[in-house]
C-alpha cells in the first residue's frame, strides 16, 4: 500500500506526527510525506520536534499570502507529485487551506482520499473562516472519513454520507500530546523561564481570521484590564506571526507588566505551559481538545465552536470577543473557587491516545473497534 500525506501547518503536523510514526511501524505500507509550507517557521518547529523529514517540500508560503494564491499554488505543485507517486491513499488532516486544496488535487487525479478529523461543523460558513468551508469541501471529496468523535460522525451521517465509510477514530492530537508528555522538558532553558513560580498563569492564543480587527483589539483591551485588576496574574501570550495579529498585540500589550509576549512556542513548550496554566483563553481548536486532559478551564473567544463535546462536558465555555465579557468570565474563574472547580475536571471526550493505531489498522483492513467518546 502506498500512502501520501500532505500537510502544511503546525496543527496538521502535530496531529499527523503520531499517524506517520504508526504508518512507519508497518513494512507493508510505503509512506511518503509532502509539506506545502503554508506556515513555514511554525511548521518547521514541529518537523524538528518529531524528527519528520518530508519527501517533498513545496515551500509555498509568501508574506501576507492570500487564500486564492495559496490554493492555486498548492493545486499546481501537487499535480505532478500525484502523477508520479500514484498513491493508493492520500491522507489530509483537518480544515486548513492545504487540506482543502490537496483534497481537490486528489479528486482531479482520481486519487482515493482519506480525511482525518472529518465531520467537525459549526454550520456557519464564516465561523471559523475559512476553515468551515475547507473541511466541508474535504468531506465532500473524501472516500474514507476518520471522525474524531461520535458527534462528528453524526454530522457526517446527517449530510447523507455513506455510513460504511465513516469510522470514529478519536483525535490524533491526543496521541501527539501523550508522545510529548513522555519527552524531557527543562523549563529554565525555555522562553518561559521568566514566568514567576507563584503566579496564577493565564495562557492566551488568538489568531483566527474572523477575529482580525475588532476581535483581537477587544481581547487585548480585556487582557490589560485583567492584569490591572489582579496583580497576582501573569499572562503568557505566544503571538502568531501574522501581522494582522502581531501588530495590534504588540501595540496594545507590549509594555504592560505581567504580560509576556513570546514568539510562537514550540509544541513541547506549549504542552508544558498548558500544564502550568490555571486558565486558557483561546480561539484555537487544538487547545480546546488538549487542555481538558489536565482539567484546565478553557474560555473560547469565538462566537461558535465546531468542538461542542467539551462545552457539553463543562470544561470549555464560549464567551465571544466582547471585552467586558472576557474580563468578567476570566475574573469569575479567578475569584470563584467553586466555579473554577466546576470547569476544572479532567474530562477529555476527544481521544484516548490510540487514534493513530485505529486509523492505520482500518486502512490495512484489520478488525478495529471505534472510539466510543
Give me the mean pLDDT over the 228-240 stretch.
95
Residue 283 near residue 300, CB atoms below 8 Å: yes
Residue 197 pLDDT exceeds 90: no
Contacts of 76 (CB under 8 A, 6+ apart): none
For every residue of 42-67, DSSP letters joined together read HHHHHHHHTT---SEE-----TT--H
pLDDT confidence of 120, banded at 50, 70, 90?
Answer: very high
Q: What integer pLDDT is reported at residue 105 of this predicted model? A: 98
Q: How many Å separate Cα 160 from the centre of its chain?
A: 27
Q: Read off the pLDDT band of 188 (50, 70, 90).
A: confident
**How many other CB atoms sit within 10 Å of the CB of residue 222?**
23
Predicted confidence at residue 191, as pLDDT, reads 81
Cell of 194: 521568566
Instruction: Using pLDDT thresholds of 50, 70 and 90, give the confidence band for residue 263.
Output: very high
Cα–Cα distance between 206 and 215 in angstroms, integer?
9
Are the CB atoms for 137 and 103 separated by under 8 Å? yes
| Residue 23 pLDDT exceeds 90 | yes
* Mean pLDDT confidence for 111-128: 96
Mean pLDDT check: name the lowest of 22-36, 180-194, 342-356: 180-194
Residue 90 in this model has a pLDDT that exceeds 70: yes
Q: Give tens-digit pLDDT for 24-78.
A: 999 999 999 999 999 898 899 999 999 999 999 999 998 888 999 999 999 999 9
Q: What is the pTM of this model?
A: 0.90
Q: In this predicted structure, what is the pLDDT of residue 373?
A: 83
The answer to whether residue 261 scores a pLDDT higher than 70 is yes
Whether 317 has a pLDDT exceeding 80, the answer reads yes
Sheet with 233-238: list strands edge to edge.
Answer: 259-262, 233-238, 200-205, 279-282, 298-300, 316-318
More confident residue, 187 or 146: 146
**Using DSSP, how many helices (H) and how many strands (E) does the chain show?**
15, 13
Least confident of 39-48, 107-116, 165-174, 181-190: 181-190
- Beta-strand ranges (E) seen in the chain are 2-7, 30-35, 56-57, 89-93, 113-116, 144-147, 166-168, 200-205, 233-238, 259-262, 279-282, 298-300, 316-318
Residue 172: predicted pLDDT: 97
pLDDT at site 346: 67
- pLDDT confidence of residue 63: 85
Percent of the chain past pLDDT 90, that is, above it, reads 85
Residue 193: pLDDT above 90? no
For residue 184, pLDDT beyond 80: no
Instruction: Taking residues 273-280, report their average pLDDT.
Output: 94
> What are the residue numbers of the active site?
95, 117, 131, 207, 209, 240
Q: Is 172:116 a contact under the CB 8 Å cutoff?
A: yes
pLDDT surpasses 90 at 206: yes
Question: Residue 268 has which C-alpha cell?
Answer: 513541547
**Mean pLDDT confidence for 288-317:** 93
Question: What is the predicted pLDDT for the residue at 42?
Answer: 86
Amino acid at each position: 500500500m502506498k500512502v501520501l500525506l500532505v500537510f502544511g501547518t503546525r496543527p496538521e503536523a502535530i496531529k499527523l506526527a503520531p499517524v506517520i510514526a504508526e504508518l512507519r511501524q508497518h513494512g507493508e505500507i510505503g509512506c511518503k510525506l509532502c509539506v506545502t509550507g503554508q506556515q513555514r517557521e511554525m511548521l518547521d518547529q514541529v518537523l524538528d520536534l518529531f524528527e519528520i523529514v518530508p519527501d517533498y517540500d513545496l515551500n509555498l508560503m509568501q508574506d501576507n499570502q492570500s487564500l486564492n494564491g495559496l490554493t492555486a499554488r498548492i493545486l499546481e505543485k501537487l499535480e505532478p507529485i500525484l502523477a508520479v507517486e500514484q498513491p493508493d491513499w492520500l491522507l489530509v488532516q483537518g480544515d486548513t487551506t492545504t487540506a482543502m486544496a490537496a483534497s481537490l488535487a486528489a479528486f482531479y487525479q482520481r486519487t482515493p482520499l482519506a480525511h482525518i478529523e472529518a465531520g467537525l461543523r459549526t454550520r456557519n460558513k464564516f465561523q471559523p473562516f475559512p476553515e468551515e468551508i475547507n473541511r466541508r469541501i474535504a468531506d465532500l471529496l473524501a472516500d474514507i472519513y476518520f471522525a474524531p468523535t461520535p458527534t462528528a460522525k453524526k454530522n457526517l451521517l446527517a449530510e447523507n454520507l455513506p455510513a460504511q465509510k465513516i469510522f470514529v477514530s478519536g483525535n490524533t492530537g491526543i496521541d501527539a500530546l501523550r508522545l510529548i508528555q513522555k519527552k524531557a522538558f527543562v523549563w529554565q532553558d525555555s522562553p518561559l523561564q521568566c514566568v514567576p513560580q507563584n503566579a496564577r498563569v493565564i495562557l492566551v492564543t488568538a489568531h483566527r481570521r474572523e477575529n482580525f480587527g475588532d476581535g483581537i483589539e477587544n481581547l487585548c483591551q480585556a487582557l490589560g484590564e485583567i492584569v490591572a485588576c489582579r496583580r497576582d496574574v501573569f499572562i503568557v501570550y505566544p503571538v502568531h506571526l501574522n501581522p494582522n495579529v502581531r501588530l495590534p498585540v504588540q501595540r496594545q500589550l507590549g509594555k504592560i507588566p505581567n504580560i509576556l509576549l513570546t514568539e510562537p512556542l514550540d509544541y513541547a513548550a506549549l504542552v508544558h505551559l498548558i500544564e502550568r496554566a490555571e486558565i486558557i483563553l483561546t480561539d484555537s481548536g487544538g487547545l480546546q481538545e488538549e487542555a481538558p486532559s489536565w482539567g484546565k478551564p478553557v474560555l473560547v473567544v469565538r462566537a461558535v465552536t465546531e468542538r461542542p463535546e467539551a462545552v457539553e462536558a463543562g470544561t470549555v465555555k464560549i464567551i465571544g470577543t466582547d471585552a467586558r465579557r472576557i474580563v468578567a468570565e476570566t475574573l469569575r474563574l479567578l475569584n470563584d473557587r467553586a466555579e473554577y472547580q466546576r470547569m476544572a475536571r479532567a474530562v477529555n471526550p476527544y481521544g484516548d491516545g490510540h487514534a493513530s493505531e485505529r486509523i492505520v489498522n482500518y486502512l490495512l483492513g484489520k478488525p478495529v473497534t471505534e472510539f466510543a467518546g
